[in-house]
Structure 1
Amino acid sequence: MNSAFERSRSRRVLLLLGLMFYLVPVASQAQEASIIGQVTDDTGAVLPGVTVTATSPALQVPQVIAVSDERGEYRLTQLPLGTYAVEYVLAGFQTLQRPGLRVTAGFTAKVDVVMKVSALSETVTVSGTAPVVDVASTSARTQLTRETLDLIPTSRAGLQSMMVLAPGVRTNLDVGQPTANPLFRAFGQNGDSWQQLDGVVTTSPKGGNQSGNWFDSSVFEEASITSVGNPAEAPSRGIQVAIVIKSGGNDFHGSGSLIQSGKRMQSDNLDDKLRAQGITSGSPVAVRWDRSAELGGRIVPNKLWFYVQARARRDDNFSLGGFNPDGTPSIARQIQRFATVKLSQQVSPSTRVVGFYQHLGQTGNQAATQFAAWESRQVTYVPVHTGKVEWQMARGNKFMSFQYGFWNWYYRRNGASDNVATSDQLTGIITGMNVVAATRQHEGRKGVKGVVNWYKPGLLWGNHDFKVGFDYTPGAHADRSTVDRGAAGNYILIFRNGAPFQVDAKSNPTDPSSPVNYFGTYLQDSWTIARRLSLNLGVRYAHDNGFLPEQCRVASRAPLDVVFPAQCYPFIQFNIWKPVSPRMHFAYDVTGDGKTLIKGGWGMYVHQRGIDELQMGNALADSVATYTWHDLNSNKKFDVGEVNFDPNGPDFVARRVEVGQALSGAVPNPNEKEPMTDEFSASFERELIPNFAVRATGIYSREHNTYRVQNNKRPYDVYNIPVTARDPGPIREQR
């Protein structure tokens, strides 16, 4: 069956109101923070020439210094997250100290101070809490500090445990399963998420859930989750997750943990009604433990820092109704082993190099279930590799950063039997080799990105923070290859209540390639007017190129070589998208004290090409062809001659891509347009008391060019039989 991609213009309107109470500030995507403010005397006159010095254990240099300008304004930028002491010095005035200023990743803290004239050399220490409302950010974000992640009761399972804390975000239920694939859904819209682990993009190149995003949450220093108002540096509209990994310091620090649980610490919901139905147990935990150790410190003081961590998790669960061949209850086993290394080198007072690497080795052994036999379980191994090298330079009002990063993972599925796989559509009974055994899922990204910041005060009625950046990802991939299934055969026998019905012919062996090359660049200006109005204006351009390279396959083992012969396939070019996406947002400080803000704006966001969209047109994609089965000798085993495997013959039923059960044989639509979304947002933020604020957000969004798939062999004009439904009339209340 041939099909074509076609986009129909559709509109979907969402108007949602989220109300958020939060104890931590809202942050931007950047990992560094800023402290800004104005210095005046006790008459309200501005004070230029004040030396402002920030010190912190988080700094790899002794201190960061700024001098207030002719408007009395100062700006300390590119500060690593941490707690700072800020000192203000000017001859003829009391020296002022402000300790305990906690700043989080990407947060801009507004700290205005008043200095008094003094003929004596004296120092005044001012106590106070850090701001919790970001006066510069125009996005609606939830910031999770290390303390928050430690104190709030979650499963510590990674991204799911964090996203459940973000208002407006809906992910799958956090039940502590270490290998669950997180769903990214916010304000009624799914997909187009963008995850970064210490600046490395870990977003799956395919749509749907985000496989491979299994990270060690115990190494997270902070995380920010954005659901509304993404600026031009963000490539998509969906949930943006930015995670910062812990770093070393001049002082050595370390910790360890041991968490243990089991069946005795688990409750159930069994009652007399369930017991009367013969249900005597749920799915109890067999073994669950979590062990970790970490150490950070200095190799060379103020020059070279290190952080290392190791963690292991085990999660074994009894399978309800599943039994081993010896009659004992069956147990599903899962083990994760993490290792993380991070190095930070201060090459010079203005130059810094950061590198990190995290490895996950995950093994699993499925259990038998009420319907799947012990021999039909999967035995899996999943390695995940994530790392980067980043160069940073800060000079005056300019900052530059360039990074090479990579993220890739492999899912090796093996079987536990050489018997032919069977599946009964009515009873659900499964026997033989696991259906998806002998497959190798592989996904990943690697690429470079860079950004240049230039802060220019006193230009066009205000201060400007210009940002120019790019990100380039060549060959992003998310394909699934297969190997021959050996004695089990490359097919599955389908029964209906024990009666032979169909045969699913698998395309093994195959090794498809469906890459996407993506390049994005943006220009952004954060324009502050009169210290109360901030405009975030930006535009983004993307070159999104999905294609199928020329590729070949070997023939499947006979008799399936009729369905999947040795063949080479030509290069196929899908439409190259070149969208331009403007974004315009604002933040207005209503009271002028940084405690009450109105934020809002509009942005256009473009869907990125997904690998799964290309796979429908890739003849080498792991696929299944279904045929009618004639069990001529009634032995309930497949014998040669019982199926006509001609794709154009009478026994052919359908063909689909195995991943996502999508259609196969698709062809690109030359008139295809990229999906886009217009998003309008407005929010109100108010700091009520120190360390406590409230935010209300409203969203209106409209989608264009939404995807759908057209069957070219069944055009609209063949549907000529009217379908009518009788109006049942008014519903009468039953008495």
Structure 2
Amino acid sequence: MVGARICQMRSVSAEVAARISMTTSFRDGRRDGNGYEDASGCIIAPLLTEVSMIRFKVRFGIVIATALVMGAPSRSVAQTQTGTITGTVTDEQNAVLPGVTVTLASPAIIRPQSSVTNERGAYGFIALPPGVYTLKFDLTGFASLSRQDIRVNVAVVTTVDQTMKVAAVSETVEVAGQSPSVDVKSTSKGTNFDSALLTAIPQAREIWSTVEQVPGATEGGFNVGGAGSAQQTSMAVHGSMGGQQEYAVNGLKLNWPGGNGGATAFYFDQDSFAEINVMTNGAPAEVGTGGVYMNTVTKSGGNQVRGGASIYWEEKSFQGDNVSDELRSQGITKGNPINHIYDLNGNLGGPIKRDRAWFFSSYRRFDISTQVLGITRADGSPAPDLNHQSNFVAKSTVQLDDRNKISGEFNFNYQNRFFRRPTSDLVQEKASWRQIEPAYIGQFQWTSVVTPALFVDARYGYLHLIFPLHYQSEVGPDDLARQDIVRHTLTDAATYDYINLATRHQANISASYFVSSHSVKTGFEYGRAFNRNEYAANGNYVLRYFDGAPLEVQTYNTPITGDNQINTISIYGQDSWVANRRLTVNYGGRFERLVGLAPPQSQPGNQFFPAQTFGIIDNIPLWKNGVWRVGASYDMCGDGKTALKAFYGRFMVQEGTRLVQQVNPNDLGGDYRAWTDRNGDNIAQATELGPSTRPYGGRVNKIDPGLKQPYSDEFDLGLERELLPNFSAGVTYYRRHNGRRFSGVNLAVPPSAYTAITVSGPDGQPTTVYNQDAATLGLANRVITNADGLEDTYHGVEFTGTKRMIDRWQMIAGFTIGRDKGLYDSGNPNANLNRQAAFIGMDSTYIGKLVGTYVFPHAVTFSTNFRYFTGQPVQKLITVRGLNQGTVSVRPAPVGATRLDNVALWDVRGSKIFRLNQGRQLEAMVDVFNLLNQNATFRHWSRGWASGSRSEGDVLRCSSTAPSVPSH
């Protein structure tokens, strides 16, 4: 494609650039595990050129492809990893026909498959990769019939019923197939993005922006024109808890094992996908996670050689201006500007041996250079944020015989961030991290059609990651990290130097059996994940300031290497029972076992903490749980066009190595000590430090022996109706309750050790805070336990509309109304203030989505991508100084009483395809991101403090919070 693209200039809030506090509870920009980056604005990027399968999506670009059709994905397991075709064959009197031979063919499978209808006239094909299929029906005495253009998507049951006519002579009738737009069998909810839709919609070219198009889904930030693609973000849908997201690659869970297990260690090549299935609700027993389940299916090649190349680019000159006069009056002169964005891809697939073996390969290079707001170099120029991503994918699929197939895949990813900021603070370039991160995935799969009714799938995957956050090269051993909690600055050095080594082994085996009115699937899953954290810090501490004045030091037990591990076993069984021609009942159960451990290890000690050796810490946690799920779908009119669906199920909340790390004394830990800089040298000497306060880390944390795994209960009730051919609409009520969540409680300091005092808040209103008894300072017996009242409930109603690409247009639309409110209770009364019945999480009252394309004559296409979100809840905090326990932050108002700005982002594209010779094509396109020139504020900081009756503004960050572990 050749074209010009208008990308959005990411919006800037006056408060951020002016460092005027704002109040955000990490609900603003794009999350990186320690903080968020801003998003939004208006960028104009030139178009991109595309040739046939080679797409050039540069905000100015060219794309050239060598074939008309993309390679088809590989075959995999039924239901959530692949699709299913099922149906009933009858005669003209509506009597069922057993013994009909049904033959299935498609470019998506290496060889045709066949099935014979049973005594009920039913047939089925399971474990089908996404693609377009043809069905042929043969029975002696009846006219043979061929159904064309049957579309199969991942995690969708496509019902194709067929009536056969008696024929006196042999004849074949061809019927233009129309795939049903309503799935009247499945009770799961999700959205499928095939390769054509992925490349047709104006969006940032990464999986999080794809999820953002799903009705009801929310994210931790907004990526406008790809400027935020270097950092993943959190996702939620219909009240799911943060971190409850699963990244499956060809059906295998390969999440990063750190934290709560909800992040990915891999940044993907968008052009390598045949399809992405995003399942949001009603997941069957084979899926463990109750939030966003995302399965990416890799292309596989085919019997024809196909290839493509693309390039997308954006330059600073393509960027518009969305800074208002009000912002300029506060000193804000520009949004979040880009220097350039380049995204190049080349891919090739085809036969190794026709009808026997296929291959597919792809390479991507993605460079993003932006400017950091509020920070300049010594010469006054903006501080840069330079990022590089590269990917290589190689896959081979071999049909061993008519029944057995194997495939192998290798994925490599370099994710490099040369000036990564460690927190949401304004970070000096020298104090940033240098991240040069390689990761790779290896996969192997074997499938076997043991009998026409029995299908077996076995697959293994391995993830390997090296995730370093190193000091910049100019940082010397005497350079100490200096952090101001009021000015939100970090200077001289990053807080520490860090290397994360993470691996995951995942092995799954399943058997699917189709018999009579039942489609049964059972499976076994085994996972083993290792997470090593290596920390070092100059001086073994961070100097902390309060508006320029020395405040305290945060000490570390560095240098240290913490080893942590989790092992999981899951067994499930599920059945889709066709009770009659209208009613299908889906039910199943799942047993999960999760155990964490820290092997024997030691630390050398430093000036704050002695050298120690630790034995094995096992069964942290040790959880065994069984859950069940049931759903029903009723074809109300009996014509396959109207389905009433209900679902109830429990999901256990996934967990990574977070709990193990929190009690592992050999992982990062330390304390806080008051600092009085008596000699004024701006360096903390031992004689200038007070006693230990607010200790954190594994040496003071314990796990409640009775700690139970949190859960999420989900109930859905909805109606779907095909209004027009290939166009369906629906309405669904969702309820989700997240319960039995855990928190840390310091049993050594009970609530009775706090005394209420009143201070004046920033608006002059009195605010209650709690002063800790001086006799309890430094006492720590922190137990992680299921906190009383720590729960939340979501209620929502969602309206959806879906139109397949037929008659020149396609569409996905959704409008969601919902609320997520919860409770909180802990032993620290300061943490409990204004936390009852508050809006929590990524609650967004109104969410609207509209994604679609229309093809005009002469191969001219218009595409749109519109998203609207009510602003997410904000925690307004004031920082109180002068308490016995030091500086703390409290909430003067309920969470959610203040919200971020509402966001309306509208991206559009115009493109034109030019047909070339030898089956090639060139596409020129222009993308405009943030057409409305939205400049909503996505992050607020405040500056000031409150103490006694004195108040000077708001401060966001709570100084008593232990450092968070980075995510990828």
Q: Bin the TM-score by the shorter chain.
A: 0.7 to 0.9
Q: What amino acid maps onto 1:365 in structure 2?
A: F
Which of 465, 489, 493 lines up with 1:409 in the alignment? 465
Q: Which deviates more from structure 2 when the two are superposed, residues 347-356 or residues 137-146?
A: 137-146
Q: Evaluate the alpha carbon distance shift between residue 687 and residue 388 of structure 1 in structure 2; reply closer, same or farther with a 3 A threshold.
A: same
The correspondence of residues 353-502 of structure 1 with structure 2, limited to 5 A, is 353-366=406-419, 371-394=426-449, 395-416=451-472, 417-418=475-476, 419-436=479-496, 438-457=497-516, 463-474=517-528, 476-483=529-536, 485=537, 488-502=538-552
Q: Per-residue deviation at 1:326?
A: 4.0
Q: Residues of 2 paired with 1:725 and 1:426: CA distance? A: 19
The reply on whether 1:184 has 2:229 as its aligned counterpart is: no
The reply on whether 1:196 has 2:248 as its aligned counterpart is: yes
Deviations 1:606-652 (A, max 9, x none): 22343222222111112342212232322222345433xxxxxx521
The reply on whether 1:76 has 2:122 as its aligned counterpart is: no
Q: Evaluate the alpha carbon distance shift between residue 77 and residue 372 of structure 1 in structure 2; reply closer, same or farther with a 3 A threshold.
A: closer
TM-score by structure 1 length?
0.87
Q: Evaluate the alpha carbon distance shift between residue 276 and residue 348 of structure 1 in structure 2; reply closer, same or farther with a 3 A threshold.
A: same
Q: Per-residue deviation at 1:569?
A: 4.5
Q: Corresponding residue for 2:732?
A: 697
Q: Per-residue deviation at 1:541?
A: 1.0
Q: Evaluate the alpha carbon distance shift between residue 148 and residue 519 of structure 1 in structure 2; reply closer, same or farther with a 3 A threshold.
A: same
Q: Evaluate the alpha carbon distance shift between residue 387 and residue 697 of structure 1 in structure 2; reply closer, same or farther with a 3 A threshold.
A: farther
Q: Per-residue deviation at 1:211?
A: 4.5
The reply on whether 1:653 has 2:697 as its aligned counterpart is: no
Is the CA contact 2:420–2:434 (under 8 Å) kept in the aligned structure 1? no
Q: Corresponding residue for 1:281?
A: 334
The reply on whether 1:126 has 2:175 as its aligned counterpart is: yes
Which of 180, 194, 197 lines up with 1:148 in the alignment? 197
Q: Residues of 2 paired with 1:40 and 1:197: CA distance? A: 39
Give the secondary-structure state (helix, strand or coil) at the position aligned to 1:578: strand
Q: Per-residue deviation at 1:595?
A: 1.2
Q: Per-residue deviation at 1:29?
A: 4.5
Is the CA contact 2:590–2:626 (under 8 Å) kept in the aligned structure 1? yes
Q: What amino acid maps onto 1:686 in structure 2?
A: R
Q: Corresponding residue for 1:712?
A: 747
Q: What amino acid maps onto 2:438 in structure 1?
A: P
Which of 679, 693, 711 lines up with 1:633 in the alignment? 679
Q: Per-residue deviation at 1:221?
A: 0.9
Q: Corresponding residue for 1:169?
A: 217
Q: Evaluate the alpha carbon distance shift between residue 118 and residue 373 of structure 1 in structure 2; reply closer, same or farther with a 3 A threshold.
A: closer
Q: Evaluate the alpha carbon distance shift between residue 367 and residue 708 of structure 1 in structure 2; reply closer, same or farther with a 3 A threshold.
A: closer
The correspondence of residues 272-351 of structure 1 with structure 2, limited to 5 A, is 272-351=325-404
Is the CA contact 1:299–1:306 (under 8 Å) kept in the aligned structure 2? yes
Q: Evaluate the alpha carbon distance shift between residue 375 and residue 36 of structure 1 in structure 2; reply closer, same or farther with a 3 A threshold.
A: closer
Q: Corresponding residue for 1:731?
A: none
Q: What amino acid maps onto 2:362 in structure 1?
A: Q
Q: Residues of 1 paired with 2:274 and 2:327: CA distance? A: 45
Deviations 1:175-228 (A, max 9, x none): 322222221211123232222011221233322862524222221111111221
Is the CA contact 1:305–1:343 (under 8 Å) kept in the aligned structure 2? yes
Q: Per-residue deviation at 1:520?
A: 0.8
Q: Residues of 2 paired with 1:319 and 1:720: CA distance? A: 43
Q: Residues of 1 paired with 2:487 and 2:121: CA distance? A: 78
Q: Corresponding residue for 2:102?
A: 52
Q: What amino acid maps onto 1:124 in structure 2?
A: V
Q: Residues of 1 paired with 2:199 and 2:320: CA distance? A: 24
Q: Per-residue deviation at 1:455?
A: 1.4
Deviations 1:516-547 (A, max 9, x none): 11111011111111132111121111111123
Q: Residues of 2 paired with 1:297 and 1:572: CA distance? A: 49
Q: Corresponding residue for 1:526?
A: 576
Q: Per-residue deviation at 1:266?
A: 1.0
Deviations 1:217-246 (A, max 9, x none): 221111111221121111132221111111
Is the CA contact 2:255–2:262 (under 8 Å) kept in the aligned structure 1? no
Q: Residues of 2 paired with 1:80 and 1:574: CA distance? A: 39
Q: Residues of 2 paired with 1:317 and 1:38: CA distance? A: 57
Q: Evaluate the alpha carbon distance shift between residue 103 and residue 286 of structure 1 in structure 2; reply closer, same or farther with a 3 A threshold.
A: same
Deviations 1:30-68 (A, max 9, x none): 33322222222223233333222122111211x111222
Q: Corresponding residue for 1:730?
A: none
Across the aligned residues of Structure 1 and Structure 2, the Cα RMSD in angstroms comes to: 2.5
Q: Evaluate the alpha carbon distance shift between residue 83 and residue 325 of structure 1 in structure 2; reply closer, same or farther with a 3 A threshold.
A: same
Q: State, as a whole percentage, how many aligned pairs show the same letter.
A: 29
Q: Which deviates more from structure 2 when the two are superposed, residues 532-541 or residues 573-582?
A: 573-582
Q: Evaluate the alpha carbon distance shift between residue 500 and residue 677 of structure 1 in structure 2; reply closer, same or farther with a 3 A threshold.
A: closer
Q: Corresponding residue for 1:18?
A: none
Q: Evaluate the alpha carbon distance shift between residue 501 and residue 704 of structure 1 in structure 2; reply closer, same or farther with a 3 A threshold.
A: closer
Q: Per-residue deviation at 1:371?
A: 4.4
Q: Corresponding residue for 1:23?
A: none
Is the CA contact 1:321–1:370 (under 8 Å) kept in the aligned structure 2? no
Q: Which deviates more from structure 2 when the two are superposed, residues 324-333 or residues 592-601?
A: 324-333
Q: Evaluate the alpha carbon distance shift between residue 715 and residue 254 of structure 1 in structure 2; reply closer, same or farther with a 3 A threshold.
A: same
Q: Residues of 2 paired with 1:122 and 1:349: CA distance? A: 28
Q: Residues of 1 paired with 2:210 and 2:585: CA distance? A: 29
Is the CA contact 1:325–1:374 (under 8 Å) kept in the aligned structure 2? no
Q: Per-residue deviation at 1:703?
A: 3.7
Q: What amino acid maps onto 1:656 in structure 2?
A: Y
Q: Evaluate the alpha carbon distance shift between residue 317 and residue 714 of structure 1 in structure 2; reply closer, same or farther with a 3 A threshold.
A: same
Q: Residues of 1 paired with 2:177 and 2:567: CA distance? A: 50
Deviations 1:323-363 (A, max 9, x none): 33444332211010100011111111100111111111122
Q: Evaluate the alpha carbon distance shift between residue 592 and residue 585 of structure 1 in structure 2; reply closer, same or farther with a 3 A threshold.
A: same
The correspondence of residues 77-96 of structure 1 with structure 2, limited to 5 A, is 77-96=126-145
Q: Corresponding residue for 2:19?
A: none
Q: What amino acid maps onto 1:285 in structure 2?
A: I
Q: What amino acid maps onto 2:555 in structure 1?
A: A
Q: Evaluate the alpha carbon distance shift between residue 569 and residue 686 of structure 1 in structure 2; reply closer, same or farther with a 3 A threshold.
A: same
Number of aligned residues: 673
Q: Evaluate the alpha carbon distance shift between residue 259 and residue 609 of structure 1 in structure 2; reply closer, same or farther with a 3 A threshold.
A: closer
Q: Residues of 2 paired with 1:425 and 1:91: CA distance? A: 82
Q: What amino acid maps onto 1:290 in structure 2?
A: D
Q: Residues of 1 paired with 2:350 and 2:134: CA distance? A: 21
Q: Residues of 2 paired with 1:118 and 1:72: CA distance? A: 19
Q: Per-residue deviation at 1:370?
A: 9.8
Deviations 1:559-591 (A, max 9, x none): x2x325343345353342111111111111112
Q: What amino acid maps onto 2:247 in structure 1?
A: Q
Q: Evaluate the alpha carbon distance shift between residue 651 and residue 387 of structure 1 in structure 2; reply closer, same or farther with a 3 A threshold.
A: same
Give the secondary-structure state (helix, strand or coil) at the position aligned to 1:631: coil
Is the CA contact 2:462–2:503 (under 8 Å) kept in the aligned structure 1? yes
Q: Per-residue deviation at 1:515?
A: 1.5
Q: Residues of 2 paired with 1:157 and 1:700: CA distance? A: 29
